[in-house]
């Protein structure tokens, strides 16, 4: 893993440090911040979920947080290094739709943090971890074709476009990176 992306801890509690960010495993104490973020209309504009049903929404977040993901996977809460109490958003690395078999990477930030390169900065060490530590054969992302910011994050972290798919009945652009491509795409010494 490059020196500017430090991973610490065992598989179950891997944390990441980048130039501006700290990423730590999401806990139930992050639920209210996740709810507040999802209530910003632009945040869920391109993402399906139970956003309009308050109790289903809370249950969805809590279930995703407490799921027994495979070691080294799950959700990471993003915080600012300068202000670690501030919730910026999250990055995930989980089986697609929590079912699989493919493993997906995803990202979501509070709107006031958009446009500063923070999603890219947060996603990069998680993708590196997926190949460098977990040795996953492939990581995918499926993104609404109108979600230009998210498509750009996928490209900036080195994911390659593999065409379009139908996801929950909606068209999505499919991106992925294979472990054989990771060394070049992420600048790893070996993957
Ligand atoms: C997608 C999201 C995480 C991006 O966060 P971010 O911190 O703004 O992302 P970054 O700043 O790292 O990169 C965004 C890139 O997209 C570009 N971009 C953003 N909006 C754009 C638009 N409407 N048209 C073209 N490019 C756009 C930015 O210019 C930047 O590219 P650049 O560095 O080449 O200039 C954020 O918008 C978000 O949380 N959205 C809601 C949740 C979501 O949709 N998640 C993804 C589901 S697949």
Write the Ramachandran bin of 43: left for phi over 0, alpha for psi from -120 to 50, otherwise beta.
alpha
Q: Does residue 1 lie in a domain region?
A: no
- Position 169 scores a pLDDT of 83
Per-residue pLDDT tens over the stretch 25-49 = 999 999 999 999 999 999 999 999 9
148 CA from centroid of ligand 1 (Å): 6
Q: In terms of residue numbers, what domain contains 181?
A: 6-186
110 has a pLDDT exceeding 70: yes
Tell me which of 3-7, 62-66, 120-124 is least confident: 3-7
Residue 70 class from Cβ within 10 Å (0-12 exposed, 13-18 middle, 19+ buried)? Answer: middle
Q: What pTM value is reported for the model?
A: 0.94
Q: Does residue 191 lie in a domain region?
A: no
Q: Does residue 83 lie in a domain region?
A: yes
- Per the structure, the count of domains in the chain is 1
Determine whether the shortest distance from the Cβ of 9 to ligand 1 is under 6 A. no
42 CA from centroid of ligand 1 (Å): 12
| CA gap 128, 186 in Å, rounded | 7
CA-based diameter of the chain, in Å?
46
Q: Does residue 181 lie in a domain region?
A: yes
Tell me which of 4-8, 47-51, 67-71, 76-80 is least confident: 4-8
CATH number of the domain where residue 44 is located = 3.40.630.30
pLDDT band at 94 (very low <50, low <70, confident <90, very high): very high
Closest atom of ligand 1 to CA, residue 89? 39
């Amino acid at each position: 893993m490059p020196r500017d992306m430090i991973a610490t801890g065992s598989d179950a509690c891997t944390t990441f440090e980048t130039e501006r960010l700290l990423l730590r495993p999401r806990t139930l104490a992050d639920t209210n911040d996740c709810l507040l973020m999802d209530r910003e209309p632009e945040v869920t504009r391109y993402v399906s979920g139970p956003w309009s049903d308050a109790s289903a929404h809370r249950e969805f977040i809590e279930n995703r947080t407490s799921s027994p993901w495979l070691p080294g996977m799950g959700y990471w809460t993003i915080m600012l290094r300068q202000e670690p109490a501030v919730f910026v958003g999250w990055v995930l690395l989980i089986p697609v739709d929590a079912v699989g078999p493919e493993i997906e990477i995803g990202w979501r930030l509070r709107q006031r943090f958009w446009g500063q390169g923070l999603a890219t900065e947060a996603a990069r060490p998680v993708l590196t971890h997926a190949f460098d530590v977990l040795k996953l054969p492939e990581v995918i992302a499926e993104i609404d074709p109108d979600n230009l910011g998210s498509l750009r994050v996928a490209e900036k972290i080195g994911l390659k476009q593999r065409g379009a798919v139908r996801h929950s009945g909606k068209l999505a652009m499919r991106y992925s990176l294979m472990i054989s491509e990771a060394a070049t795409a992420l600048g790893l010494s070996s993957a």
